[in-house]
Structure 1
Amino acid sequence: MQSTFVCLAALFAHVQHACAQTVVNGQIFTNGLAIIDAPASNSSLHAGSTIQVAIDVSGDGKLSQSASIPGSSQSTRFDSLETYLVSYQKSQNLTVSSGPGLLTRESGSTVKHWNYNVSTCVPAGSYNLTFYEGSRIDGQAYFSITPVPVEVMNDNPSGACSEGMNTLQDYPQRSSSPPSSPWLSSTASGSSVFPSSTGANSSPTSM
């Protein structure tokens, strides 16, 4: 079916709430430059195990490798890309990747990988693996938020989390992203990924 963009937009300052994104052939296209290869929407994350985050930063081959490095002079480029595991219901906001580490690793690769250990302290429930992306498209600055719903499985939590924990902020999270991915044509077909209703209501203080 034809994919649709389903978030509400404010009538001023081009401010939008974090909302559904588009899946095409298993890839999640953010409304910025990133394309999420893994994990898939609604994946189960098991406490005590490692998940791999994989992000195509080439726009399916349309963007030069230098544009993924923060500080690039390209008119279309990444400025930042960070990831958090968030749930308002569970009062969890855990850093998965912050700073330039994700974009600067694996020099020369068009897909960036990041291994994240889901701590045994993370309580079971619905979360969003949320991507915060600063970018420029044809010189215009944007800030996109992409929440990917996931489920954390944990039969025996080890106690309250402390390492990597951030304070929750008020919902809704706001962004200033373009209406759709610049890599998708108007005729692209796909499905929509909706953020978890329990995981969406949070954002990291560092953003």
Structure 2
Amino acid sequence: MNFTLVNGQIYTPGLAIVNAPQPYTPLGGDTLHISLDVSGNGKLTLTPDDDEPTRFHEITIFLTSSEMERNFTVSNGTTPPQVSIDLDSNSDSDSSSNSNGSVTAYTGPILSLEPDSTVKHVNWVWPDCFVGDGNSDDQGARGNYNISLHQSFRWNSTDYYTVFDLPISVSNGIDEDAERVECGLLENEYRPALSAESDQSDDLPGQPFMGEGVETTVLEGEEGENGGSRLGLESGVGKALRWATIGLVLGAVL
């Protein structure tokens, strides 16, 4: 799958522009960090009127892998529930008594993050089954994934729903931490994709912000399970989450 970049940004089949990560990046650390420009590089307002001809309705994000047959919620457009944690299980804690706290299970609605900023920074804490350094025979859930970016939006007075899959590799070190929730709290039903012939639709006439004469760089990725986009019309605003064109089902978390 090829990805077209403009000045290091990835233009998706939708209104969102991905600043980071880049395709096929090996990831790890404390969190999965995703940076999205939601203004079309200054072309859209953060608080559009309801009848605006071009505007976002919703962005949701999932972490999916056909290799691992896993599907995790990063943000499903709802307010995340609080999950109780035992802070004493954190090796950095020096408390001598039982100490409990809570963390959010996943990231809240994307468009509500950093309300005064046109760039939304998603920092999703890796759940516990991703802990590891890549040297163990038991890799848990680690492996090749797609950051699956679902966009519901209006463009030129027509509503659309698109899915863009950005391939990454969860291969760098991820340390144990008390704030990592159980993977079962984030995992949804996984169903394999249908054939590639069913992926594409001609409903979206083009990329909203890619004008003629723009200099682009085509990044050629590996052929295989990861990467790609699925496009489609949306007949109304606020449709339930679904796997759009190709029949993958995203179950609601919790």
TM bin (shorter chain): 0.7 to 0.9
Per-residue deviation, 1:135: 0.7
Distance 1:55 1:88, change over 3 A: same
Q: Which residue identity is paired with 1:23? A: L
For the 8 Å contact 1:86–1:203, the answer to whether it is kept is: no
* 1:105 aligns to 2:113 (yes or no): yes
Aligned to 2:69: 91
Q: Which residue identity is paired with 1:99? A: G
2:206 match: secondary structure: coil
Per-residue deviation, 1:116: 0.8
Which of 13, 34, 45 is 1:64 aligned to? 45
Q: Which residue identity is paired with 2:187? A: M
1:9-50 Cα distance to aligned partner (Å, 9 max, x none): xxxxxxxxxx7542111111111100011112112122x621
Aligned to 1:42: 24
Gaps of 5+ in 1: 1-18
Aligned to 2:90: none
2:129 match: secondary structure: coil
**In 2, Cα distance between equivalents of 1:81 and 1:106:** 14
* Alpha-carbon RMSD: 3.0
* 1:187 aligns to 2:232 (yes or no): no
**In 2, Cα distance between equivalents of 1:79 and 1:195:** 32
Distance 1:31 1:155, change over 3 A: closer
Aligned to 1:153: 171
TM-score by length of 1: 0.76
Per-residue deviation, 1:196: 7.0
Q: Percent identity?
A: 30
Gaps of 5+ in 2: 79-108, 131-140, 177-181, 228-245
* 1:124 aligns to 2:142 (yes or no): yes
Per-residue deviation, 1:203: 3.9
For the 8 Å contact 1:89–1:199, the answer to whether it is kept is: no
Aligned to 1:26: 8
Per-residue deviation, 1:199: 4.2
Distance 1:149 1:84, change over 3 A: same
Aligned to 1:141: 159
For the 8 Å contact 1:31–1:179, the answer to whether it is kept is: no
1:72-122 Cα distance to aligned partner (Å, 9 max, x none): 331101111011110012011001111161111211211111111122403
Aligned to 1:168: 190
1:125-177 Cα distance to aligned partner (Å, 9 max, x none): 1111110001110111111111111001267999x931210111341475766
Distance 1:29 1:193, change over 3 A: farther
Which of 33, 52, 63 is 1:74 aligned to? 52
